[in-house]
A and B are shown apart, each in its own frame.
Chain A
Amino acid sequence: MIPIPAFFEFECPVKTHCGHRALDHMPFELRAMDVAKPLLIGDVPASHAKRWRPVVNAFRDSQMTIGVVEEIPTDDPQAIVRQLAAIYRDKDCDAIVAVGQGPFIDMAKWLNLVVSTGEETLDAITSGQAIPRTIKPLAVIPSAAADGYEVSGLLRTGNEAVASVNLMPQLIFIDPRSVGQPDDIAMAETALMALTHGVETFFRSDANPMTAVYARTATRLALDALHQLSGIGERGSDLAWTVAQAAALGGCALGCGPCSTTHAIGQAIAAGGKISAAQAAGVVLSYALEHRAIANNLDNDALWGLLCDGDHYARTPDSQRGSAAFYFLRSLLNDLFDRTDGQIRRTLQDAGLTREELQDVTVLPDPLAEEGDTGDYATIMAHAWDGRPLR
């Protein structure tokens, strides 16, 4: 159980539509927000018509006028945002529907700030003032190959990062037709990042029973997907949809709060180019949690309750719940490693990092991260390198 803090605030402006034909609800939902001319933007290539077509078709009988810009690159965000803002204004649009993932959705959030405030750069938008509550409606249609930040209140571009609950999309539509069918490795990476977001936001310093709702759900969905990908669970036809849900709800859990230790370490290791940030976070997660447990900064009981079902939880003696949780997370990675012929790493060593390279990894304090001790990072990374439990 999450303890009730003496004071807390919770806000999540996102309405989630999830499931079969979810996209068909989009015109109604936009109209309820007084939207008449949404601009649909996507990084999806025209060749991926299976993903793109149902989004456009959802508006077929809506009597709404839509603008569509597809195959948008993300290599020069500022210039692209400027161009899209010109289209938005020229066509008199009044909302954005963004189909994509990762940096593209960051760009969509930025575009929304530009068309809502009239300012072009993030500096100008944020200098001395909070992100306004009255920015234009933003709907996001996420995919199963996500970095997990799409639905959060975080916007990252280059070295800049902005956080505000008002940056979160008001609407998300997670429809099996539009989540794509990434390969297993991409889905596993998305699920690992969702797992990291879920678990770490559950235990974040500003956690409360309401953030825990999103964190718990994202964690369970991510584990469900990872069990299917590892072969432990039976593979369902909705696997990609489950992965997309986990990522999106993990973003809701994250909100605009601080990022985690695991995230910061994962990003730093990924900068070396030998392992993705999601995989690095997946490897580091159990060691970062164990490190917190040793420092008496983690409720082992709650962790085991988060990771397993009621029967497993209740059958495990109190004193063994922490070790059961760490073992569980590491076993899951082992199974994924076996199932993917080593493409999902169990340890940082698996990724080809040497001890020397590890010593050169500098975990930069993320501009939005909770404070961490660099010495702690080194210990966590050392154990994540060869897979040795901390105790």
Chain B
Amino acid sequence: MLHVPGYYEYCCRVKVVAGHDVLERIPAILERVHATRPMIVTDRGVAGAGLIDVMTEAMGDQVTIGGIEDDVPPDSSIEAVRRIAEAYRNNRCDALIAVGGGSVLDTAKGANIMVSEETDDLMAFSGVGTLKRRLKPLIAIPTTAGTGSETTLVAVIKDHERHQKMPFISYFLLPDAALLDSRMTLTLPPAITAATGMDALTHAVEAYTCLAKNPLSDANAVSAIELIAKHLLPVMKQPEDRDGRLALAVAATLAGMAFSNAMVGMVHNIGHATGAVCGVPHGTCMAILLPYGLEYNQHRNGHLTAELLLPLEGADTYARTPRNQRAQRVIARVREMNQSLHDITQGQHPRCLRETYDRDGNAAVPFERLPDIVAAAKNDPAVFLNPEDLDDEDYRMVLEHAWAGTPLDCTRIKRG
């Protein structure tokens, strides 16, 4: 079904290069942007997994690497940005290659602002539209198939002194190219493959079912869902499946394009809060909360959720399922996917918040922390485009069910 709102915007200016041997093309891509001495920005996890070695080996001796900065913290900070900008200048680099997830890319974007604008005052460029010209070339190489951050025009940098997260928003922050190479996700541990796959699925589903959807973001979302539905579980069972890995990477980028143009809703809203309060990884939160977001909004957007049964389960199931049961079937299918992922990972992929644990094996989300999550969720802007409102009681109700892993009692949902 074509849903055309009265007004919409759509933009995805990032050049995407995808395949099994894309890393070998880095020298040509650098040449196209007139760069000869890139700096590689990454984190210890990526470097420790040997992915930088895979990349440098693929590039051969065709590129002179100006430096490798591999200590980007999990939460991008202004200190890390300053350090990388200084190294970039000292090593006379002329481009950045960010290898990793959202934090690495944000840090590289921040450093790019500093070196391109020749400034030490990064915060002077925070906000919307303060950048007025092209920055130095930036290539993004995601190492998980989930965040979609390679498609966004945003960087969020934490200023520890002011206890603030500062957003930078400009089309000049878009990477010059996003490289999706199956080798970069081939060794991803099963639990992370599961969480990031469900993260991408949530991006696509929320983009399709929330209020800022448009026909192009819908097409992105449907393709992403189709690919994830087809490849996530097989890749979990056969992690070395290169084609499946590539398909999931492409799906994550498609989902990133969808949500960066259509935004998200309450699943991200509560997920952000749960991550901030209890430190639960983002993808895990998305996987657990997605069926609850769909259930909670069903009286508003059940017709849209129902349409997703086709990409999720195919034509036969779609045709066999009565129209008024399709949304329910989608929700059930998401729960089944979580159950399968839980089984395949031998319990590492949690099905509910009660099953999440910190590194020391303690419960990550004690029941008594739910009010703190509610308080944090109320201040998170992701809820603005959710189809139905949530008050304290609603948040609490959703969280209690997500904690216990029980379906929502739909009679308790207030129709605002």
Contact = CB atoms under 8 A, between A and B. Distances in A.
Interface of A: 1-2, 4-22, 25, 28, 31-34, 133-134, 208-210, 212-214, 216-217, 220-221, 224, 242, 245, 249, 309-311, 313-315
A220 B4 CA distance: 11
B11 A15 contact: yes
A2 B215 contact: no
Contact of A4 (B1, B11, B214, B247): B247
A217 B219 contact: yes
Given A7-B20, A31-B129, A15 B319 contact: no
Contacts of B214: 18
A313 B310 contact: yes
Contacts of B315: 313-314
A310 B318 contact: yes
A367 B183 CA distance: 37
B215 A217 contact: yes
Nearest to A318: B315
Contacts of B257: 210, 213
Interface string B13-52: 1111111111000000000010000000000000000000
B9 A6 contact: no
A18 B132 CA distance: 24
Contacts of B356: none
Interface string B208-225: 000000111011100100
A221 B215 contact: yes
22 contacts: A1-B230, A2-B223, A4-B243, A7-B21, A8-B16, A11-B13, A12-B12, A15-B10, A16-B11, A18-B214, A19-B5, A19-B6, A19-B7, A28-B129, A33-B171, A208-B18, A212-B223, A213-B216, A217-B215, A245-B4, A313-B315, A314-B315
B316 interface: yes
Interface string B313-336: 001101100010000000000000
Contacts of A311: 319, 323
B316 to A, nearest CB: 7
B133 interface: yes
A10 B17 CA distance: 7
B157 interface: no
A210 B216 CA distance: 10
Given A9-B17, A212-B219, 20 more contacts: A1-B227, A1-B230, A7-B21, A9-B18, A13-B13, A16-B9, A16-B216, A28-B129, A32-B129, A34-B133, A209-B227, A210-B12, A210-B253, A212-B223, A217-B218, A220-B215, A221-B2, A245-B4, A311-B319, A314-B318
Contacts of B196: none
B307 interface: yes
Interface string B103-139: 0000000000000000000000000010011100000
A169 to B, nearest CB: 12
A216 B310 contact: no
A20 B7 contact: yes
B14 to A, nearest CB: 8
A20 B8 CA distance: 9
A213 B129 contact: no
Shortest 3 CB-CB distances between A and B: which pairs? A19-B7, A7-B19, A314-B319
Interface residues of B, number: 52
Contacts of B219: 212-214, 216-217
A36 B188 CA distance: 48
A9 B25 CA distance: 11
Given A220-B2, A314-B318, A18 B16 contact: no
A32 B171 contact: yes
B246 A213 contact: no
A232 B250 CA distance: 37
A98 B32 CA distance: 29
A8 B19 contact: yes
B19 A5 contact: yes
A4 B250 contact: yes
A209 B250 contact: yes
Contact of A10 (B16, B33, B171, B216): B16
Contacts of B254: 209-210, 213
Nearest to B308: A310
A12 B261 CA distance: 14
Given A220-B215, A314-B319, A34 B132 contact: yes
Contacts of B307: 310
B16 A9 contact: yes
Contacts of B10: 15-16, 18
A212 B33 CA distance: 27
Contacts of A21: 7
A313 B6 CA distance: 27
Interface in B273-323: 307, 310, 315-316, 318-319, 323
B13 A314 contact: no
A242 B19 contact: no
Given A16-B216, A221-B2, A313-B310, A209 B223 contact: yes
B241 interface: no
Q: Which of A7, A133, A214 has the most CB of B within 10 A?
A: A7
A7 B22 contact: yes
Given A6-B20, A209-B254, A1 B319 contact: no
A32 B13 contact: no
A8 B17 CA distance: 6
Q: Which of A7, A21, A212, A310 has the most CB of B within 10 A?
A: A310
B170 A32 contact: yes
A249 B243 CA distance: 29
Contacts of A6: 19-20, 246
Contacts of A221: 2, 4, 215
B69 interface: no
Contacts of A314: 310, 315-316, 318-319
Contact of A310 (B18, B133, B310): B310
A335 B10 CA distance: 33
